[in-house]
Homo-oligomer: A and B are copies of this chain.
């Protein structure tokens, strides 16, 4: 009996109506997670979990991705053993207009002109 050659592992995502502003802000108030979001926004393409440039262990990274996903910020799907990530940009824009984009902009701003 052939198993499906495309991964059957599915990932649960909340509908945007289910996510609260509180969740989104908690998710985005964490530096590592904001780094992830920034890299996703900059990349312009989906990125696998393992290729992010962050200095935490794999298990910690898994935790952060879970928080981001449950907050509706990212979408995840398996490709083989790797898990791809993308921003739910448009949906977030519809749910909380201007919020995610302002945040990404602010992140970029600060990267250029650090507070120091």
Interface residues of A (CB under 8 A from B): 17-22, 25-26, 28-29, 31, 34, 96-99, 101-103, 105-107, 109-110, 115
Q: A25-B28, A29-B29, A98-B105 are in contact. List 14 more A-B contacts (CB 8 A).
A: A18-B115, A21-B103, A21-B107, A21-B110, A22-B29, A22-B31, A25-B25, A25-B29, A28-B29, A96-B105, A97-B105, A98-B101, A98-B102, A102-B102
Interface pair B102/A99, CB less than 8 Å apart: yes
Residues of B within 8 A of A31 (CB): 22
Q: Which among B19, B20, B115 is the interface contact of A17 at CB below 8 angstroms?
A: B115
Q: Which among B18, B99, B101, B115 is the interface contact of A106 at CB below 8 angstroms?
A: B99
A-B CB contact pairs (8 Å), 5 listed: A20-B110, A21-B109, A22-B31, A25-B25, A28-B29
Residues of B within 8 A of A110 (CB): 20-21
Q: Which 8 pairs show the lowest CB-CB distances between chains A and B?
A: A98-B102, A29-B29, A25-B29, A99-B102, A96-B106, A20-B115, A102-B102, A21-B106
